[in-house]
Amino acid sequence: MSENNPIRVFVVHAFAEHPDYMKVFEYLESRPNFYYQNCARPDARAGSGESMQDELRRQIEPAEIVILPVTLFAINPVLVTFEVDTAMALKKPVLAIKSFGETIAIKKSLLDKADDIVEWNNRSITEAIKRLARNDASGQWEVIEFKLD
């Protein structure tokens, strides 16, 4: 992953810019040297029914990973399930991000579709993205320097 080769991500959106959808990008932006390209376009709602599903397929196809903030399931369970099922059909890994304090109960059947489930932590999210999307399990170590006087 580099600036010239960013990881292509699709964040589940159900055609709405939910606060947790936006928060994913805040977390990704807060990590130094983490480069990504957003394939999701919540503003590109194309009608309803089959045309909406076609638009979602077009958005998910170029992505290397699909990110699911689980709180979005409550907004539109049918559309969120479609997005996750499409990701699985296209052989894209799915990363679920738990709700803050795990206050939202999500169907086990949906969570079972996730390749990994993480907390809202910028390091956990970006490391899981790199591991699932690019098979990069190198991890990053934070260095703490101590003054020895």
Bridge partners, residue 67, by sequence: 11, 95
Q: Which of these CATH numbers, 3.40.800.20, 3.40.50.9200, 3.40.50.970, 1.10.3720.10, describes 7-134?
A: 3.40.50.9200
> How high is the pLDDT of residue 102?
62
Per-residue pLDDT, averaged over 75-90, amounts to 93
Higher per-residue confidence, 51 vs 137: 51
Q: In the predicted model, what is the mean pLDDT of residues 69-75?
A: 88
Dihedral angle over CA of 96, 91, 17, 29, nearest 10: 70
Residue 35 has pLDDT above 90, yes or no: yes
